[in-house]
Chains A and B, each alone.
Chain A
């Protein structure tokens, strides 16, 4: 009689207990799932950033090669090819700072903008006519500016590559 009366109450308490434990476990699993999702999201973002930084590094590598070719063409007085490189560098240096601003420090963006102006000034001198460039000596301002452009670009590339390496 007693056990018959207590039985349903025990079953109810047991059910409550199980339900309570299930709720706590559910909460715990939800929290773990949330943490896992957050970690996955962070990892995905980091991976995406790493890919973008790597892409930026390879784009800057192309810019450096173009700048070195520009210097070489100027040293050998191949002005039509140099003019072509000036155009290419102008386009690349207009595009990269705007697109990759999030992955570059302000100082690096400033360097790229300054380099673009320097490249543009080289283009202006080339367009003024070959008379001014007939005596292109290594200490000519066009050559020295071109050297500076290469150096600055290599410095920015070095910083970006170092970031790629640190991101692993």
Chain B
């Protein structure tokens, strides 16, 4: 039963996504937007993590544009069910920045490219 009096905590979801991504069970895919990666699970849910521009106050009190990851949870129809921002993830667990780094690494096949780059360099 939905208990709307308690705020939904995205931390367990983010932690699970990070763990499953690290264990290679989630295959993040790149999109036409270089700053977004997607993965679908369970045949009915899609996660999209994307860097978005946001304005923050810099060290010198000046507004500056920074990029922060936002996680979108979509249903099978593509509707956004939940939009999780970095500030929403509290606790000691991994945050959205770590999840984005892993998603980008998997989506861009960085490990494979790194391996081939190293072997190409060794052949020089």
Contact = CB atoms under 8 A, between A and B. Distances in A.
> Would you call the interface of chain A mostly helix, strand, loop, or mixed?
helix
A116 interface: yes
Residue of A111, A120, A121 contacting most chain B CB atoms (<10 Å):
A121
A97 B30 contact: no
A104 B42 CA distance: 12
A113 B46 contact: yes
B31 A117 contact: yes
B30 to A, nearest CB: 6
Contacts of B33: 121, 124-125, 141
Contacts of B31: 117-118, 121-122, 141, 145
Interface in B81-99: none
A106 interface: yes
A41 interface: no
A114 B32 contact: no
Interface residues of B, number: 20
Contacts of A148: 29-30
Contacts of B74: 117
Contact of B32 (A94, A116, A122): A122
Interface residues of A, number: 25
Interface string A100-131: 01001010011101101110111011000000
A141 B43 contact: no
A121 B39 CA distance: 13
Contacts of A144: 30
Given A125-B33, A148-B29, A148-B30, A97 B43 contact: yes
B43 A118 contact: no
A11 interface: no
13 contacts: A94-B78, A97-B43, A106-B42, A109-B43, A117-B38, A117-B46, A118-B32, A121-B31, A121-B36, A141-B32, A145-B31, A148-B29, A148-B30
Interface of A: 94, 97-98, 101, 104, 106, 109-111, 113-114, 116-118, 120-122, 124-125, 141-142, 144-146, 148
